[in-house]
């Protein structure tokens, strides 16, 4: 894993010149074109209708957020929110790793490493730190306390960029196991969303003697191609399968590009903050404007669009274990997100001990259903502790 095991304190302090340069670019945006307004009749009203999201992120949305980015958004405020928590960097397997490490005051707290997704960052979990580390102050029980570790994925944000091939889910999982060992945690849990839902189960696979349990918000289990898997689908399962198809065919263009030719778009993203904003917003637009802008700003300031995209390429161009995972696993599945079929999930993960499906929340549950996510995390690890 490399010889340099030093853990160094880290604090975000972006030079003002970099923010000024960003502001200058935002003042000189050259806007993309889109289809003009068209006359649309729906039987009730007739009038000009702007193109919607069917072609991708609309011009009006980008114009509005660029205006806020330029005139109403305060990076320094979000920098201060991040700096309110202890941050560190360390080198693992030749790669810089940035992480937050917030210990609970409760002596019996459970260590928990949380992995964010793309195009998100450690900002995904900021609002969960208080409830997880200090549950009593947030309506919970002292037994539900966690020591939280929130790393930036290799190549993302302040961990980036990557400088070697091979930083896929498996190499990342091995790095997380080393990080938790380096922090002195003998037993710990792992949680992930989006790309983090790929990494977290592999942490359990790679470090079975130390991982208590794996909690995720997606289990990306698809049909194997064997027709026998599909012969007795219920109506509800068929609806889930239809959504899986549409998810794969219509909503994953970004993934197809990033897993096949990530550098193609990276040049444009490195040169255009408006482009970085739009590329970020294709998935984050369901969150509030500041969350979108904060992540776009982070990717811009660290110039990690290319290295973050390479995670998809590296993960696509590697051999994945054929054997299922065996660590105790829990799923919190939210209403407006990828919904796995249990039969496929059980095929890929043989020790699913908790399966929760919620009637609200989206792919970014930390933003729109944090109460449900926190409750499920508490219940899952409480169950594993036999409480």
Q: Tell me, what DSSP letter sits at residue 303?
A: T
> Which tokens hold the place of 7?
């853990």
Strands, DSSP E only, in the chain?
7-10, 38-41, 46-49, 87-92, 95-102, 110-115, 146-151, 188-192, 211-216, 329-333, 352-357
For residue 99, give the 3-state DSSP assignment: strand
Contact in structure between 114 and 192 (CB atoms under 8 Å): yes
For residue 352, give the 3-state DSSP assignment: strand
| Alpha helix segments (H runs only) across 222-334 | 235-250, 253-260, 262-271, 273-284, 289-302, 305-316
Contact in structure between 358 and 333 (CB atoms under 8 Å): yes
Q: Which residues are catalytic?
A: 194, 312, 363
Cβ neighbours of residue 2 closer than 8 Å, sequence gap 6 or more: 91, 92, 93, 94
Cβ neighbours of residue 242 closer than 8 Å, sequence gap 6 or more: none
């Amino acid at each position: 894993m490399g010889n340099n095991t030093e853990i160094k304190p880290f604090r975000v302090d972006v030079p003002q010149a970099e923010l000024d340069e960003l502001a200058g670019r935002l003042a000189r945006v050259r806007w993309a074109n889109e289809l003009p307004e068209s006359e649309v009749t729906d039987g009730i009203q007739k009038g000009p209708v702007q193109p919607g999201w069917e072609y991708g992120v609309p011009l009006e949305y980008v114009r509005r957020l660029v205006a806020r980015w330029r005139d109403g958004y305060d990076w320094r405020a979000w920098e201060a929110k991040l700096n309110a928590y202890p941050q560190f960097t360390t080198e693992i397997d030749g790669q810089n790793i940035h992480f937050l490490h917030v210990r609970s005051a409760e002596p019996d707290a459970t260590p928990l490493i949380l992995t964010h997704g793309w195009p998100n960052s450690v900002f995904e979990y900021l609002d969960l730190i208080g409830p997880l580390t200090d549950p009593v102050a947030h309506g919970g029980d002292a037994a539900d306390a966690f020591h939280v570790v929130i790393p930036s994925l290799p190549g993302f944000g302040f961990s980036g960029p990557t400088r070697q091939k091979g930083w896929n889910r498996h190499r990342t999982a091995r790095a997380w196991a080393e990080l938790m060992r380096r922090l002195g945690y003998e037993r710990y849990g792992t949680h992930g969303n989006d790309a983090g839902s790929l990494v977290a189960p592999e942490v359990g696979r790679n470090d079975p003697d130390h991982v208590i349990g794996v909690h995720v918000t997606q289990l990306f289990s698809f049909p194997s191609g064997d027709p026998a898997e599909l012969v007795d689908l219920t109506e509800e399962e068929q609806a889930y399968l239809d959504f899986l198809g549409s998810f794969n065919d219509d909503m994953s263009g970004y993934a197809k590009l990033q897993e096949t030719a990530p550098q193609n778009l990276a040049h444009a993203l490195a040169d255009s903050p408006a482009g970085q904003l739009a590329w970020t917003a294709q998935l984050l637009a369901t969150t509030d404007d500041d969350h979108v802008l904060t992540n776009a700003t982070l990717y811009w300031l660290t110039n990690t669009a290319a290295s973050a995209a390479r995670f998809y390429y590296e993960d696509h161009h590697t051999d994945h274990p054929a054997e299922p995972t065996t660590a105790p696993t829990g799923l919190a599945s939210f209403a407006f997100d990828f919904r796995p079929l249990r039969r496929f999930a059980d095929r890929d993960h043989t020790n699913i001990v908790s399966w929760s499906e919620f009637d609200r929340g989206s792919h970014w549950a930390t933003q729109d259903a944090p109460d449900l996510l926190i409750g499920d995390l508490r219940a899952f690890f409480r169950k594993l502790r036999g409480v």
